[in-house]
Amino acid sequence: MADLSTFDPNSVGNPNNNIFGLPFNEEEARLIILPIPWEVTVSYNAGTARAPEHVFKSSLQVDLFDPDVKDGWKEGFFMRSCDKKVLMKSDYLRKEAELYINYISQGEIVSDNKFMSKSLREINEGSLFLNNWVFEQTRDLLATGKLVGLLGGDHSTPLGFFKAIAEKHGDFGILQIDAHCDLRKAYEGFTYSHASVMYNAIEEIPQLKKLVQVGIRDYCEEEMDYISASEFRIITYFDKEIRERQYDGQTWKQIADEIINHLPEKVFISFDIDGLDPKLCPNTGTPVQGGFETEQVFYLFSKIQKSGRQLVGFDLNEVGISNNEWDENVGARCLFKLCNLMIAANRG
């Protein structure tokens, strides 16, 4: 364990240390954050591939005292460096994807253009590579007994992590905070689109017994049909319905308790930051009006821990890059809360 005798948690964050200015290396830390610099299939704003390094910088401004999980940081958080090969591959394929998206947005037929057909094939192959890479990285970390969180990147990034969780833990459920369902089949022709991650998880991971989506407010008819046909494997709490229930007098506690009751014993939190009110994440990939305050989401997360369920992993995705570092600051604080809750939910 790291020697904390000379570490002052009340002082300014030390940029020579790791995430949140903490003096832990990977071996010493109980929780490892795996950054995924990937945003190939984003369909609106780009920038999330470089979010991990910006969140790391902003994390030095986060105070380490959390009244809900006191001294959680003392068990050790460590963030790996971004893999430069993954980032380079993302940058290359992103340029291909931009040309491809522009092409299809003009109503052109992909099969009529050999270059676009090749680009689509390369993008899908690249996304499959990423899924396998994430699976291998997270599987190996889980095998060492580490708690693991993933920091994206776009929301396509955690699919391989979901598969590693299924291999390690068996049956589990996902609590998804998001403005979007992400249940489209091969959106824009991309098999592993950021808008298709939960569709692919449902289709490819039989151990995923329940997907509970919260805050959804931008979706299509195809996704509604897919939810309806899921035989309650997917439970969706739309932003509009949550607000109307509150207008009618229900409390957030009542709704949060109901949400948690749908989840199985083992829970993975998949947090697309666009589930928040866009004033908190204006530069996220696809912002949508409405959404949560951070404390509403943190309250819901804490209910998982207090319910006795096991928090088996988390991802935080779609953090934007901003000139004033606002998005990154909010992202860093969301990451710190997720790390602390992982520790609290896995204490002996």
Q: What is the pLDDT at residue 146?
A: 98
Between residues 51 and 5, which one has the greater pLDDT?
Answer: 51
The phi and psi torsions of 78 (rounded to 5 degrees) equal -140, 130
Residues 6+ positions from 257 with CB-CB distance below 8 Å: 303
Q: What pLDDT does 111 receive?
A: 85
Secondary structure class of 327 (helix, strand, coil): helix
Q: Report the percent of the chain where pLDDT is more than 90.
A: 91
pTM value?
0.96
**pLDDT value of position 51:** 96
Mean pLDDT over all residues of the chain?
A: 96
CB burial of 183-203 (b: ≥16 within 10 Å; e: otherwise) equals bbeebbbbbbbbbbbbbbbbe
Query: Is the per-residue pLDDT at 77 higher than 80?
Result: yes
Segment 67-79 shows an average pLDDT of 95
Q: Of 3.90.420.10, 3.90.25.10, 3.40.800.10, 3.40.50.300, which CATH number belongs to 19-345?
A: 3.40.800.10
Structure tokens at 291: 């959404």
What does the pLDDT look like over 172-198, one tens digit per residue? 999 999 999 999 999 999 999 999 999
Residues 6+ apart with CB under 8 A from 224: none
Domain boundaries, the chain: 19-345
Cα distance from N-terminal residue to C-terminal residue, the chain: 17
Q: What is the pLDDT of residues 272-299, one digit of tens each?
A: 999 999 999 999 989 999 999 999 999 9
pLDDT in tens, 198-241: 999 999 999 999 999 999 999 999 999 999 999 999 999 999 99
User: Residue 289 CA to chain centroid, in angstroms?
Assistant: 19
Q: Which residues contact 136 (CB under 8 A, 6 or more apart)?
A: 160
* 3-state DSSP assignment of residue 3: coil
- pLDDT band of residue 106 (cuts 50, 70, 90) is confident
**Per-residue model confidence (pLDDT) at position 43:** 78
CB within 8 A of 120, min separation 6: which ones? 100, 110, 189, 190
Cα 34 from chain centroid (whole Å): 11
Among left, alpha and beta (phi > 0; psi -120 to 50; other), residue 317 is beta
Tens-place pLDDT, residues 292-335: 999 999 999 999 999 999 999 999 999 999 989 999 999 999 99
pLDDT (0 to 100) of residue 295: 97
Which of 19-28, 97-106, 218-227 is predicted with the least confidence, judged by mean pLDDT?
A: 97-106
SS3 136: helix
